[in-house]
A and B are shown apart, each in its own frame.
Chain A
C-alpha cells in the first residue's frame, strides 16, 4: 500500500485505470490509512482518551459539589461545563470516530452540518427565546414567576403545618 503515495490527499485516479480497479484502490486506500495509523494509535491511545473523558466528566460533576467556588454565579459553571463538554465531544469525534486520521472529506461533511446546526439554534432565539418579553396580561397571570419559588421556599421554612397539632 506504500505505492499509493500520500494518504491525506485521498486516492489518485490514474489515467487508463478501469472503474473497478479505481474503486478498489479508493476503498483500499481509505482503509489502508486506518490500519497504518491504528498502528501508532492503537489501544493505548484509546485508553488515554477514555481516561481523559472520565476525568472531564468528573470535572463537570465537580460544579455540582459544595466545593465549587462559584455557587452564586451560575454563569461561570455553565461556561465551564460547556467548555468541558466541547472538549469531550472533540475527543470522541477525533479519536473514537477516527476523524483525526481521515482524509479531507471530513470537512465536506462536518462543517456544513455544524454551520446549519448553529444557524438553526440562533434562528430560534427571536421567536422562542424572547417569547416571554411581551405577553398578554392573561398569560402573565397563569405563568410561573420567580417570586413563586421564593414563596414556596418561605413556606417550607416557616410552615404553620410543620408544628405539631398539640401546640
Chain B
C-alpha cells in the first residue's frame, strides 16, 4: 500500500491569547512507495511525530490530504484507516497479559470481520511467532524486558494486518545493545511482512541503518528526502549535512574566490563552477587525507587509535566546531611530538553552503 501525503499541514493554535500559532508541519508532500521502510528524521519539535499521528489519524491535518493507495483517508478516523501504531513507550495495557494485549485489536472487529476465539488465537500466535515472543504469551507487560515489550507492541500493531505500520521512536526506550539488535529485528519483520512502514526517530544512525528512504525534517519543513546513503553523500543544505553522520561533519568558515576555496588564508581546494561568495565548508571526517604537502594546516591536539582507523583531533582558527575530527587509515603515522598536521581533502566529501541561505553551493568534482 503506497501512502501519499499531499501538502500536509498542521497548525496548532497558540496556547495563550497573544501567542503565535505553531506550524508543526508545513506543506509536506511525499509519496511513500509500497512495501518500503521510511524513516522520518529530525530533532525534537521538527514535526515528525505530528506527521506520523496525522498518517495514523489521531491528529487531523489543518490542510492537505493523505491517501492510502487511491483512497483519500484524510477525514477517516484511525480505526477506519487500517493502520497499526507502535507507541514510543509501547502503551501496552498493563492489566492484560501479552496474549490479551495482542488479541485486543481483533476483539474490536465488527460485522464481517468478526473472528471466532480460535481464529483470534491462531492469528495472535502467528504474529507472536513472527516477532518471536510466542513463549511469553501469558506474562504481564511488567514482567517483560524493554525489548520484549517492544516486540509485543509491534505484534499488537501487526495483528490486524494493517495496511500501514507506524512506529513512533521505536528504539528510544531501549539500551544501546538492544537498540542495535531491535533495529535489525524491525527491518526483518518489515521485510517479511512487506507492510509499508513509517517510523519516526531523532537518531540519524538508527534511521540511516534500517530505512529504505529517509525524510529529514526541521521546524515542520521537509529538508530532504532520499535513500540514506544519497542524503549522506549529497546533503542539500547545512542542516542536513550537520544532522547526518557520526562523528558529525566538520564545518569551517570559508570563501570561494576565483573558483578556489579558501579556509583562512590557504586555498585548500579547486571548486570549479562555484561563484565567488562566503561559504560554510562542511568536510566529512573521512574526507581528510594526511598529507605533508596538504594545504590545510591544523594544530594537532591528540590522536585516538580505534583499531583499523585513527581519529585525529585537531584545531583550526576557522573551524566552527571546537575541534576538528578526522578519521584516517591507521597506516598514516604522524611524527612523534608533532604539533601540526597537514591535510589535503577528498573533493566529494567536501560540501559548500552559502553563508546566508545555508543552501548547498555545487561545484564540479572530477
| A, B co-complexed | no
B residues whose Cβ falls under 8 Å from a Cβ of A: none
